[in-house]
Amino acid sequence: MKHLIDILDLSVGEIDELIELAESIIAHPENYRESCKYKKLATLFFEPSTRTRLSFEAAMLELGGSVLGFSEAQSSSASKGESVSDTVAVVSGYADIIAMRHPKEGAPLVASMHASVPVINAGDGGHNHPTQTLTDLLTIKREKGHFDHLTIGLCGDLKFGRTVHSLIAAMSRYADVRFYLISPEELKLPSYVKTAYIKDKKIPYIQTTSLESCISELDVLYMTRVQRERFFNEEDYIRLKDYFILTPEKMTLAKEDLCVMHPLPRVNEISTAVDSDPRACYFKQARYGKFIRMALILKLLEANA
């Protein structure tokens, strides 16, 4: 049984295959319209989502399949105390594949141990978000053409930003990559991520609190929102939420071919005045999410056929 719980469940070669399939779907969507006929995707979302849930659902519908599920814990029997393991054991009888988002780190892993169909981690707490990383990798491939020799700035909430943790793990496998870790002191990258994917792999990195000091060096700038829902007190959130704001003035310091990414949702960290800059890739990035999820659903159903 093949699941996707962590981006490193996929080899570099498997990621290349998924990207190739997503690009084929983008070029010829008509070839895939019946690929999942009679198959069902269950979206079990115990935490809010716009992009991940709706792009998974659009992906399955565009493959000719159907979707069922819930978008909040309150409308499921989790509100009556049902466990994740019981929930997926039951849903395995209703669907061919499950995408799960949960506020607790490790919940999708537990689900994968009790499901009889493939489980995809659609975001677990402040831990991982592997399908966002697949989306990010497809964006980088289409915008920069390659993964090697890139200087990547990760800016904002590097502590709770699960998309950042998964992206660093994925990018650490490519040659001649450098990271700028740009965050307030309180929202620095967790040491377990820094040790495993940067220090132990001897990847050059600079940790800084200033976006202006390094923006001119970057090939990719990955902005993130301060994760209000993971703060213990509102005062700290309010103090840190506008620490970084990407503006047209800051963009004048950047390379002409910088690729600005953001997993979205955005709050204040990118001024809307940046949206019309050709280097702003975040809405394209959200669109690519549907195609890479189509590729993932196809591959997982094929692997488990």
List the catalytic residues. Answer: 51-52, 80, 101, 129
The pair phi, psi for residue 100, each rounded to 5°, is -125, 130
Rounded distance, CA 215 to CA 241, Å? 20
Euclidean distance between CA atoms 31 and 266, whole angstroms: 34
Please, which residue, 123 or 126, has the CB nearer to ligand CP?
123
Least distance in angstroms from the C-beta of 216 to ligand CP: 27
Residue number, 87 or 224, with CB nearest to ligand CP: 224
39 touches 301 (CB < 8 A): yes
- As measured in angstroms, the least distance from the Cβ of 263 to ligand CP is 4
Which CB, 46 or 205, lies closer to ligand CP?
A: 46
Beta carbon nearer to ligand CP, 64 or 106: 106
Report in angstroms how near the CB of residue 122 gets to ligand CP at its nearest: 7
Give the C-alpha separation, 300 to 297, whole Å.
5
What is the distance, to the nearest Å, from the Cα of residue 276 to the centroid of all Cα atoms in its chain? 23
CB of 81 to ligand CP, least distance (A): 26
Phi-psi category of residue 64: left, alpha or beta, with phi > 0 → left and psi -120 to 50 → alpha: left
Residues within the interface to ligand CP (CB under 6 A): 49-52, 123, 132, 263-265
Q: How far apart are CA 121 and CA 112, in angstroms?
A: 9
